[in-house]
Amino acid sequence: MLFVGEFHHTLDAKNRIFIPAKYRTALGDSFYITRKMERCLAIYSEAEWTKMTDKLNTLPDSVVGAIKQFLYSKTVSVTPDGQGRIVLPPELMQYAAIEKNAVIIGVGDHLQIWSDALWSEKENTMDTAALMEQLRQLGL
């Protein structure tokens, strides 16, 4: 499945966030949440997580050791409850500055969870001219 779209959610008192049904079907019974360098969280299906980690594991630790530490040390495997909610661990919420309101966005092969404020800031400062130039250079 190609993950697309944007969904705004409010976390409940137990730090649970609702994963939209169309995403849950593609993600499977359990999936992985980890940190991204952009100060957001990433959600990967088992298959996509395996693809990424297999690539990392082919490279020497001298090249990707710090990346592995960054990713693996805070990654969690989660299973949605009966209502499609998952619990965000406090350390991941703190990393991504998620307090109460969050945005789940599709970015192709995975999802990202942003704090509402950081996502809004990112959207407002996006350099669309530079993005268009990148697309042009890539032949897209």
Q: Determine, yes or no, domain membership for 33.
A: yes
Q: Determine, yes or no, domain membership for 105.
A: yes
Total domains in the chain come to 1
Q: Determine, yes or no, domain membership for 116.
A: yes
Please provide the average confidence, as pLDDT, over all residues in the chain.
Answer: 93
Q: In the structure encoding, which two tokens stand for residue 106, read together?
A: 């599709």
Q: What is the DSSP letter of 89?
A: P
Q: Determine, yes or no, domain membership for 24.
A: yes
Higher pLDDT, 53 or 128: 53
Q: Determine, yes or no, domain membership for 83.
A: yes
Q: Are 118 and 40 in contact (CB under 8 A)?
A: yes
Tell me the percentage of the chain whose pLDDT exceeds 70.
100
Q: Which domain holds residue 72?
A: 6-137
pLDDT at 133: 83
The pLDDT tens digits of the residues spanning 42-70 come to 999 999 999 999 999 999 989 999 999 99
CATH of the domain at 22: 3.40.1550.20
Q: Determine, yes or no, domain membership for 1.
A: no
